[in-house]
Structures are given as C-alpha cells and as structure tokens.
Structure 1
Amino acid sequence: MSMVLRGAAAAAVVLGVGLLFTFEYGSVETVQTGFRGVAMEQNYRASAIPASIAANQLPEPIDRVEPEGELASAVYQNVQVLGDLTESEFLRTMTAITAWVSPEQGCTYCHAEGEELSSDSLYTKVVARKMLQMTRTINVDWGSHVQATGVTCYTCHRGQPVPTGIWFADPGRSPAHGMVGNPAGQNRPAAQVGLSSLPSDPFSTYLVGKEDPGIRVIGNTALPTGNNHSIKQAEWTYGLMIHMSESLGVNCTYCHNSRAFADWSQSPPQRTTAWHGIRMVRDVNAEYLLPLQGVFPAHRLGPEGDVAKVNCQTCHKGAYKPLFGAPMIADWPELARKGPAAPGQSAALGPRVPLQ
C-alpha cells in the first residue's frame, strides 16, 4: 500500500474515532406500558422533549361570545359553510382562522383587496371553504379517531398558510436497466420512512383510495391456499408503519404487542384509534383534497402535477396526540356542527368495514 493510501486510512480511522466520542445522543427515558418481558415500552429522548412541547403549544385563546345576532347567511352574501352561525360566532371564527392560517397576510389572504367579501376570485378562499367542510366533518363523523378532542385549522396549519407534513406523489427515479431492475422506490433513504431503505412512498398506495388496499405484513392463510400477499406489500406496510411511528414520536409497541404484532386481541387500544385514523386520512384526501385538483395554481402542485395531500405527520407533527391532546372543539363548538353543505358537496363517508 502506498504512503498516500496509508495516510488516508490512518486519517479516516482517527476521524472515525473522534466522531465516535464527540457526538452524544443524550439520555433516553423508558416508560413501561405492558407486562414485563414483552418489550411493551415507549422510549423518549429527554433532550428532545422541551423542543417538542414548545412546538405543540396552543395560540392565545379568543374569548367566547354569546350567539347573538342574525345568522351569518342572512347578514353576509355567499356564506356557504358557516351560515348556521350567528353573526357574533361567525366573526369570532373568521378572526380565529386568520390567526391560525394567515397571521402575517391577514384577511386578504382569502379575500381579494378592493373586492366584495363575497367574491371567490382568490383560489385560497375556495380552498378555505373546502377545508372548513373538512374540519366539521372530522369533528362530527370521525370521533372514532379524534374523540372529543377534535381539530381546528390550527391543528394542521400552526400559523402557516401551507401546513407542514403534506405530501405529493413521488416521481421516483427512472427504472434501472439490466439486472438491477426497478427499485420500486427503495434504497434511497427518505425522511418520511425514517431514512430507511423501505419504499419511500407508501402514501399513494395506502392513503388515497376509499377501499382497503391490503395493509398487512403476513397473509391470512398459508401458501398455496389463496394467499397472494406479496413481499412488496409487506415492505410498503412497513414504510407506512415507520411513517406513523415517526409522525407520532412513538415506538411500534404504542399500537402493537411485540409478542404478536398481528393479533388484535393482544394489541393496545391505540391500534384501533390508528385504524380509524388511516381511514379518516383516506376520506379526507378523497373527499376534500383531490377534488381541489383544478383549483390550486401550478406552483402549489407537486412534481407530478398532483394536489397536496395529508398523512399522519400533517396533524401530529411528532406528538402522540396533536398538540399533546389539547382540547380543540371545547373552545370551538362552531366547528363541530355539521351545518349546510356547499353546492356539490357529498356527505363524508365514515368507517363501515370491520377491523382486519
């Protein structure tokens, strides 16, 4: 070996040893959640907890108002979603939406300056109307997932016009030729699957359609008795599960018993809540976001030209419950009413299929 290579090797060793003793992860707190010996526990990095708590604080509350005055639909023109609120409730809700979504842009983010408030000339107003319908549907029809906590615009937006955690179809890489074949989105670490080599886009497969796409790792029967669940399905499922773990800041054992991952009878209650959450996300994407495909301008679309969609990260943002379970609809019952549907809006579909 030449002197140059020896010197490079020695430098690499010194650098590696130096890095090994320079960076520390900090202490890890372990909380036992199940019986001893079955690895049912949650691990938390103590140094990361303060930042997570700071990032999941509610904004200053807006004082409640008495439901006074006429209905908003009688006072203002073109109020298609919140027309069942009184004028006082309506103004309070509009003030809150501005603070939740566009605190810097103000009302003109959705209402064109110099035009009547009833004007729909800005695409942001059309989108906001659809999002209000979505918020009410989640609070009314998806208690199986959000329980009595509920959601508001702030759950996702956190003071930003475009929430973090949205996703678009992954264009991937061009299929390789020859023996390498198509990587199927694998072997290129992506943040949404925990920087693993799992398929980087499990969302297009599992979080868009209404029907059960077959989220599972093992088959229901042994081969060759009709079991057609492939290894690729297992890899996509693992990718989605890693995404859920990262989004909620929890281990796999938050929803699964480590002695029998597939067995519902041995799983914690959180698994049922997550099951409903997956179906709620599908419903939100199918009923409220995909229909906006022709509304968003080109610069708000993904590299494949598709509209932004939601996943677990959109609401949870690293917390096992969004905003660590802070009650949302307790202060905003106006967003927990079904209300009138806008023209062309179909009723949201709740979960109607048994657990699998």
Structure 2
Amino acid sequence: MNGLVTRLTIATGLGATVLLLGGCELGPKQTQQTGYRGAGLDQIVDVSHIQKAAAIPAAPYALPDDSGPRASETYQNVRVLGNVSTERFNHLMAEMNQWVAPPEQGCNYCHNPENMASDEKYTKVVARRMLQMTRNINTRWSTHVKQTGVTCYTCHRGNAVPEYKWALAEGTLDPMAIRGNKHGQNTPDKNVGYASLPSDPFAEYLQGAGAKNIRVASSSPFPSSDHIVSIKDAEKSYGLMMHVSTALGVNCTYCHNTQSFRAWNLSRAQRGTAYYGIRMVRDINGDYINSLRSVFPANRKGPHGDPYKVNCTTCHQGLSKPLGGVSMLDQAPALREGPPVAPAQQEGGPGASKAVPAAFRRPAAMTDNK
C-alpha cells in the first residue's frame, strides 16, 4: 500500500511539474555572459524562435555613376532628389518600383503616365514625403540606424503599405455591456506579447509630439514626490516594453540588467540604441506621417481617421537588426544624403533628439549614478 501511495505521489508530482513547465519554452538555448561571473547576468536566446531575415531583392540593374545632368535639369517638379544625377534618379525610381509599387501598376501607382510631373495622385505626394523621411532617418538618426541605414524596402518589403503598422484603437467597450469595459486590458494581443496589459501602448509613447517618457523605475525604494507613477502608467510602459521585446525577438536582458532595470551604467549598449529608436519612431510619426493626414484617403486611415503609423515591428519584424543587419544603401546612395537639420529640430527644439543620460557611460564602480 505504501508503495502504491509513493508511486501515486511521484506520478502526481511529475504531472504537476509537466503542467508547471507547460508555459516554458522548451528546446535548445544560447547564452551569453553580459555581466560579472556568478551573478546570473546572461542573455538567453531561444534559437528555435529566431526569425529568418527577409531576402534582399537584387538591384534592377547596375548602379550608374553620379555624372551627367541632374534630375532637376531633366525632369519637372523634382523637389527632393533634384541634386542627384538623372541616371541615379532613374535607378532609384526602378528600385522603388520593386520595393513599394504593386507589380500590376508599377510607375503608374504614383504617376499619371500622361504627365509624370503631376502631383494629382496622393501616392506621389506621400512618396515624396517618405523620401524626405528616409533621408532624415539616415542623416539625423544614425544614433539608432548606425551606418546600416534604411531604405523604402526596410519597411515596405514589396508592399504598397507596410505589413506592420498601427492607428489609434477603436475604443473600449460599453461599461454597461455584458462583456464590460476592460479598459484595453485582459484581451490577448500580439502587440503586448499576449500579456494582460493595455494592448495599445503606442498612442501614449509613439504618437509624436507630446509622447510620454517611460519613467517607471525609481532610484529610491521609498515613496517620493519627485517620482509619482501610477500602476496604470506602469502597465502601459510594460506594454510598450513587451512590444519592443516581440518586435526585436529578444528578452529584457538584451538591453537591461535585472539588478536594476533603471540604471544606465549597468545596462548594455543596446539600451542606448533603443532609447534613440523610440525617439526616432516618434519623430517619424509626428513630423512625417501625421502631417499627411489630409492627404491619405479614408482606406489608409484607422477607425479614428488618423493615418497608419510605424512602430518597432514595422522595420524589425522579429529581428534585433532589420533585414539581419544588411545595408541596402550601397545600391541607393541618394537615400543616404539628407537635408540639413531644420532649426526646429536642433537641440532643444520640438522633436529634438535628447542625449542619453551621462550615467550610460559606465563608471569604474558598478553603481547607479541616477
């Protein structure tokens, strides 16, 4: 009898263990030490969940040199790429056909074939603004995109509209309805890793001008009038972090040190890159996409009439480096050259890039410099 009880107890324990581990991700893992030995400071990668990088399309033809007449001398109404040679301008237009335009429409997706200079199609107006945006990213936001940069293909991947985008959520349910008002929570949503968190963190943090800063962790274990953050704000912040984690295919320790999520001097360099990335996305949405609200037709807008905007997934699509870190700028050098930074975007102006806190520069002692 005692043997039977023992066997039943063991079987029950094993069954419970299986149930408890049911939510864990099984399979091989890769680990990389990111801190002092014995401190458990490791970056763990689930190799079975690594996304494959998208294939890079071949150039339509060899990149011509930049000699000869300028595009503004050959064509009419060239407002962004006028200083590029005609041959390189034509090459970039052929690339954009591959990267963005539907195959059945080609050049006619943006242009009136009877009058290529006309701005009558909204898609041409949008494309011009997106060219300005791309050059601005490659020039001003090298703190995030480094020397790899971006092209139209980074987001579009052959689609007229990027696959991954967002607009303001439709709204909460009627609180008197049978399902109740969940305030955007407890609904499984990929945006926040299917966690019970507000599923629309983008409006708070990625909208553009006026976006909130993420200030959840305090430097003190005690309540302070200098740091008042509600649980609701903390949940939204964590919702955004779940999005970043999913978008890049990484876990929290890719940027943070679990000894202190707040401390910059304990963080990895990737946190600084992400810091600028969040601000870059705000700049894109606020200065470039929202400015086209009156240009986009209704079918290119969300339920509240705002244009579809970008988030981290738009470019990353499950990889820590979009397209596996491959740069396409060598075949589109015109997109590397950007206009000078406008006065309003200079340090201190609206949309200006803020410097990473000084504490990000790791001091000799592993302490939180606040």
Give the TM bin, normalised by the shorter chain: 0.7 to 0.9
CA contact (8 A) 1:144 1:276 kept: yes
Per-residue CA deviation, residues 143-192 of structure 1 (Å, 9 max, x unaligned), is 000000000000000011111111010123225249x9853311111111
Cα distance in 1 for partners of 2:24, 2:271 equals 33
Corresponding residue for residue 166 of structure 1: 165
Preserved contact between residue 31 and residue 41 of structure 1 (Cα < 8 Å): yes
The structure-2 alpha-carbon separation of the partners of 1:247 and 1:130, relative to structure 1 and needing over 3 Å to count, comes to same
Deviation per residue, 1:114-170 (Å, 9 max, x gap): 421001111111111110000000001000000000000000000111111110101
Deviates more, 1:325-334 or 1:249-258: 325-334
Encode CA deviations 1:186-211: one digit per residue, 9 max, x unaligned: 11111111011100011000011334
The one-letter amino acid paired with 2:288 is: Y
Checking the alignment, whether the CA contact within 8 Å between 1:82 and 1:339 is kept in structure 2 is no
Distance 1:205 1:340 in 2: 29
Q: Helix, strand or coil for the counterpart of 1:266?
A: coil
Aligned ranges 1:1-356 → 2 under 5 Å = 27-35=27-35, 36-49=37-50, 52-53=51-52, 55-61=53-59, 62-104=61-103, 105-112=105-112, 114-177=113-176, 183-211=182-210, 213-220=212-219, 222-339=222-339, 349-355=351-357
* TM-score normalised by length of structure 2: 0.82
Inter-CA distance 352–46: structure 2 relative to 1 (3 Å threshold): closer
The answer as to whether partners of 2:28 and 2:46 remain within 8 angstroms in 1 is yes
Letter in 1 for 2:331: D
* Contact persistence 2:173–2:182 (CA under 8 A): no
Q: Distance in 2 between matches of 1:71 and 1:275?
A: 38
Q: Say if 1:139 and 1:224 are closer, same or farther in 2 by CA, change over 3 A.
A: closer
In 2, distance between residues paired with 1:247 and 1:212?
20
TM-score w.r.t. structure 1 length?
0.85
Give the 3 Å change call, closer, same or farther, for CA 249–60 of structure 1 in structure 2.
Answer: same
Q: Displacement of 1:345 after TM fit?
A: 12
Query: 2: distance between equivalents of 1:315 and 1:263?
Result: 27
Q: Which has the higher contact order (CA 8 A, sep 6+)?
A: 1
Aligned-CA RMSD value? 3.1
The farther-off stretch of 208-217 and 297-306 is 208-217
Distance 2:33 2:127 in 1: 40
Supply the distance in 2 between the matched residues of 1:213 and 1:220 (Cα, whole angstroms). 19
| Residue range with higher mean Cα deviation, 327-336 or 141-150 | 327-336
Q: Distance in 1 between matches of 2:225 and 2:26?
A: 50
Deviation of 1:333 (Å): 1.8
Q: Which amino acid aligns with 2:132?
A: Q
1:240-260 deviations in whole A, cap 9, x for unaligned?
000000000001100001111
Deviation at 1:42, TM superposition (A): 3.7
- 3-state SS of 1:189 partner: coil
**Identity rate of aligned residues, in percent?**
46
- Tell me the secondary structure at the aligned position of residue 31 of structure 1: strand
- Secondary structure at the residue paired with 1:283? helix
